[in-house]
Chain A
Amino acid sequence: MNLWSTRRRLWLGLSLILLSNAVALAGVYYNRSGAPESRLTLSERELQLPYGDWFQREDNSGMRLQLLWRRADEYGRVDWLSADKLQALGFQVPDFTRGDWQQRLNRQLARPVVLVLELDGPAYQRQLQSARQALAEAEARVQSRPDDQELQRQRDSHREQLAQEQRRDSRLFLVDAGLDAQALRQAYPDRQRYLLLGGRLKPHADSGKPGAGGFAAAIYPDHTRITVPHALREVFSDWQQGGAYREERPQVRVELAFGRRLEPWMLDASRQ
């Protein structure tokens, strides 16, 4: 191997590394340039230290927070995922008169989509209302049969669920999906309440009637883990991994921005 070809390969390798880093950092600069696409103020209810990571915490000094989002659906069905919406997202809607429509739906692969997440909006209020209504019904049943211990237990459980919903559960709900981020932003113009996030969606059949109350789907946002900048780590220093039911975590206020490429970064974080 001659010296010239060795030198050429060395320069090629160095250029490859520099160029790859430059492209990645230029993408970060582009994402963060201009006004953020959306800017949300979250609390400890929407964030937690992830568990089930590759590394134990003692092996990894970095800190990432998991974005906690919810689906207001029952039994895996998404109420807004109609047959028309499926078609608009690029999926083939199977002929439901055929006996094998479920296999045909299940065979389709996940497609990249833009997800719309709503913070403390109508979807959360509906969830809250539903928890209040369930508690009111349980209390009415207890009043009609005051000595029934099972009914009392059910009422207490609903009371706890309402408290959980009011104080601890995430208020970030998945409310829509589409392919065009600009069209979605026009439909949801409030940038401090509605977050657009890249992700993937895969519909699948469940045991119910086709399309009744929306289709079932597996939905995964691209970014559910957000790195905490070095300067803001102190705010989360006493957080524990994961989040247990009924756990009261220190109250925080976290400013998250999502840029032109819908990639997030943490602007600020403080204790309440």
Chain B
Amino acid sequence: MSAFSDVEQFVSSARGLTRMGDLAALLTETVEALGFDYVALVHHVHFTTPEAAAQAVQVVDYPEAWHAVVAARGYFADDPVLAACQKSAAAFVWSDLPSLLPLTARQTEILEAAGACGLAEGFTVPVNVPGEFLGSCSFGIATGGELPRRALPAAQYVGCFAFEAARRIQRLEAARGGRGGASSGPRLTQRQFDCVILAAQGKSDWHIAQLLGISSATVHQHIEMAKQRFGVASRTELVVRALFDAQITFADVLR
């Protein structure tokens, strides 16, 4: 079968799925047909709050040994693959990471540790839906295997369509679980959004109040509510989280 037929078949089979487990099985099968060994479809979010965990996509088929190491050493927050997704909207091959971002010693350690666990090389497709958590789909190669370069365009499409399917199923499952899955990720209201952008520009509550024509107390309340939504304690963390999750963009702040 041609690589495009694999993509077409994946897209049409994924369309009717309603369970994440079925999507994971279909994805694993497709990924193998394209010449990869492992796959991970994730929203880049720490599961700090039950709300975040209920709304995030996480379908991971990686070597068991790697899961254990990531959990034990807390690698998630420093993962260079996730860091590269912040910088690049374009898909990338893991062995090209050093040319995409200056790797810290810990990031180099993470790549080496992954290789030692049998996950030596891979290809990652960043997924950005404006107003939602950043996500990605990664295709891994077992240590000793070779990256199927000719399959990369097909993998890119499978990654995009798989992520959308997972996003749709996540909402269905959240709705089934009674968690009201209509929303995806903590969303800011328009007024919270306005306040966070101005806070990101370094403006005080008083100054924001003047600009928006509302009271200082109301501004304070909007900021506090936004902090609660993201589960963070400080104004600085709020701005960073809002940027990280693409709720606000650098273009909003630096205009």
> Are the chains A and B members of one assembly?
no
Q: Interface residues, chain B, CB within 8 Å of chain A?
A: none
